[in-house]
Structure 1
């Protein structure tokens, strides 16, 4: 068994003996700290063995006294040289970034990510269009049952929540309009406000937001899960196009049902406004309906029916695009579902603004 590490000092030389390894050092480091006087040479010729810890202790002692180390064999010398080369002071670097640079960097990253997402959505829209044209040329490939099933997901299941939301929106519009118009003695114009606002804007817009939250998220979650479990890859392997089998039925269902849901939403909103006007302003339902027919132009209905299928297509494509973009990570399903809802609502509002400018420009205001 090797002797415990030790040293002796004589005439400027410190001679180490024993085993300079971690297990045999004992209190050697504390004793070396107490060495005083001039030390010009460290002799390691009498040691049994040395490891990395021992070499570092000797190197630290020699550097503190500016002494020369000798007496090592070839293997120990190579170990000691590696310890000496590795013993470099840590340089503290200021890695902090100025606030304005960090903000500009985040804005730049967001712009790049938005551009890539928009480019991906445009490409996905093109793929969906090509799949639709291919199905038109080959009608046997059309999956009627899948479209009907999505009718239930997009439309039938949403009737209750869309109706309740629209009814409350109609009440809120009528109540707020009546409060403001009462100041000018023009409460009867509450009917104009409810009729035109629900048919032209809010009926379709609020329905699109609800569909984006329900169906858009459902599309992303369903396709994302299928992508994660490799069902979509399996469909490609057996020669089934995921665009025709999964994306196209969902998109067609949203495009077809959005005008119906929008018109349904507008009617329910007007019923809510009618009840509020009857209870608060004393305007009977017969008068409300007659006034609606007088003041609401048919172009308002056309505006809502034109916007609705476009909103439905955007919501479905955003949801399916995010679902098909899921990678091999379960966390991606939740992230992509959230992104589908956010993108769907954002694009619907942006398109609604463009439609408002366009219809005003052509005289449908």
Structure 2
């Protein structure tokens, strides 16, 4: 800090309110503080807002000079305000009275910057992990418990089939399967048409129109048919499962079942999982057939490939192993969708907000799980279903 000559005849402000003014003297910018920089003078809201506005208009640049001599009174609060505005460093040029310098020196001496928090130790990290653990581990724990309970319920079903809720099973099978045929067929038909037209534009350039049967057959039967059907069922039936069980949570029906000794897994989870495990392969086969029909019609219109040739070339282009693979992973998709829907339904809290949030999470998680499992099947069975 250097003491320089202040602007000549700097007037002392007559107002008791703290103020800051900007002046130019000898080609240099001066910031002149005046008034009473005390707690009492800054106690009113208007005075504080006016002072904050003045300070915002005087940024603490290195070449700016400050003149504090017009200040009538300066206490530790006012000095702390100035010291903080200077970012805990003295201006290059500063003019002030001795009593003001004593207050500022004391504030500067005892003001300590906020120390940086030390990084957490390994023991603290382990303690935090044990208390708050990531949500993913809790979900995995509960989901594995749900799968284990399902396995026990299936064993109970094998020992005592007469105790099984067959009426619930048949109702879910109709709801998840039969009522979804029209929407899956429509979407599959349109997907087949779109794919056939896109593929035909590329194959026509190389004179390989006949290979449209190979591409459509493999892509629709092996991948797109099961995945498309699973995504539709996840959005349609997965959300319905979560909503049904969630409403039972809101209306306290689950608590009533527990009081009466009716197991949730045996009466709620197992029938839905079994229904989707059976319905999902059939829906996947139905969707693939509809997509192939759409592709066949589009190939006839775009490439003049007759339906008779399409149907005769399809068995040679697509080995039967692709169909069994598609049916197997469709059953896995159905089990996953039902389990995820039941899991989020059981986790619904007794309020409508939690019900909506749980339904959304169920659909998103089901679709993500379907895509991940499909990628896993593609890696594990990459050599199955292709002719040498």
TM normalised by structure 1 equals 0.69
Contact kept? 1:207, 1:262, Cα under 8 Å: yes
1:288 is aligned to 2:310? yes
Shift of 1:118: 2.6
The aligned length equals 267
Shift of 1:275: 0.3
What corresponds to 2:187 in structure 1?
A: 165
Q: After superposition, where does 1:1-365 map in structure 2 within 5 Å?
A: 112-361=134-383, 363-365=384-386
Shift of 1:193: 0.9
What corresponds to 2:51 in structure 1?
A: none
Distance 1:134 1:125 in 2: 14
Instruction: List per-residue Cα deviations over 1:85-144 (Å, max 9, x = no partner).
Output: xxxxxx9x99xx9xxxxxxxxxx9xx9223322332222111112112112112121111
Contact kept? 2:318, 2:385, Cα under 8 Å: no
Structure 2 SS opposite 1:274: helix
Distance 1:337 1:181 in 2: 43
Distance 2:152 2:194 in 1: 43
Shift of 1:163: 0.4
Instruction: List per-residue Cα deviations over 1:205-258 (Å, max 9, x = no partner).
Output: 100000000000000011011011110110111111111111111111000011
Shift of 1:329: 2.3
Structure 2 SS opposite 1:251: helix
Shift of 1:192: 0.8
Distance 1:263 1:346 in 2: 21
Contact kept? 1:174, 1:193, Cα under 8 Å: no
Distance 1:340 1:140 in 2: 32
Structure 1 SS opposite 2:382: helix
Shift of 1:322: 0.2
Distance 1:237 1:202 in 2: 45
Structure 2 SS opposite 1:211: helix
Shift of 1:272: 0.2
Shift of 1:294: 1.6
Query: Structure 1 residues 364 and 112, CA, compared in 2 at 3 Å: closer, same or farther?
Result: farther
Distance 2:315 2:372 in 1: 30
Distance 2:314 2:153 in 1: 42
RMSD of aligned alpha carbons: 2.6
Distance 2:251 2:311 in 1: 54
More helix by share: 1
Distance 1:323 1:205 in 2: 23
Distance 1:177 1:115 in 2: 44
Distance 1:295 1:188 in 2: 11
Shift of 1:308: 0.9
